[in-house]
Amino acid sequence: MRTAGHPGPLRTRLLRLVASWIGVGIGIPLILRAELGASPFDVLNTGVAEATGWSFGIAFVVNSIVFFAAGRLLGASLGPACLAGTVVIGPLVDVVLGWIPETELLMVRVPMFVAGILVIAVAICLVIPTELGPGPTEVLMLGLVARGMDVVPARWISDGLPVVVGAVLGGSVGVGTAVWVVCMAPMVRWGLHRMGYAPPRVLTADI
């Protein structure tokens, strides 16, 4: 048994889900074009691909399954959007990348990176309360929260773990990666609090 969340009406949840997909589809290209450091999960994906010889896509799928499974074992719920989001966001990222020109100007790349981080933080805070299925690092974070951890340290672990493992395996790390790990956690906690949402926790009697 778990403490109940407050997902709200299905129509509102679906609208927030779509908005979160659009946000990630915009935020990821901004970060990629900024070239200041990959997101934590992409550090892991590039590291696994480098170490195994797998394609980035295969590494992404395998790593996602591992994170989904770990989060589920800890007590997080999976939803249909866990898979659907990957199918939708991938092509959207490709489209938006075609709209954003490459630049070597740091004065342009830094604001692009900051905008990307902020947009993705909003997207994360929109999708989690829907309880329809967030991304891999969100599921792991929610699993840790379900076991009694606060959102901030849970997010630091769910972002920091793929960075450490990915870096050891040869993944792409930059200063932006560190900024993401440090800043995303408090932004997510603040955003969920503003939305009046508390992630479900596993009750002590059921552990």
pLDDT in tens, 21-68: 999 989 989 998 999 998 999 899 889 989 999 887 788 888 989 999
Average pLDDT over residues 123-142: 95
> Which residues fall within 8 angstroms of residue 156, CB to CB, at 6 or more apart?
181, 182, 185
For the segment 78-101, what is each residue's pLDDT rounded down to a tens digit? Answer: 999 988 887 788 788 888 888 999
User: How many Å apart are CA 124 and CA 61, to the nearest integer?
Assistant: 20
Please give the tally of structural domains in the chain: 1
Q: What is the mean pLDDT of the chain?
A: 90
Full residue range of the structural domain in which residue 95 is found: 10-198
| Residue 96, in any domain of the structure | yes
Specify the DSSP class assigned to residue 202: B
Residue 176 lies in a domain: yes
Is position 140 within any domain?
yes
pLDDT above 70: residue 6: no
Residue 207 lies in a domain: no
Which pLDDT value is given to residue 2? 42
Place 203 in a pLDDT band, splitting at 50, 70 and 90.
low
CB atoms within 10 A of CB 156: 19
> Is 206 part of any domain?
no
- pTM score of the predicted model: 0.88
| In a domain? residue 22 | yes
Asked, for residue 204, whether it belongs to a domain, the answer is no
In a domain, 111, yes or no: yes
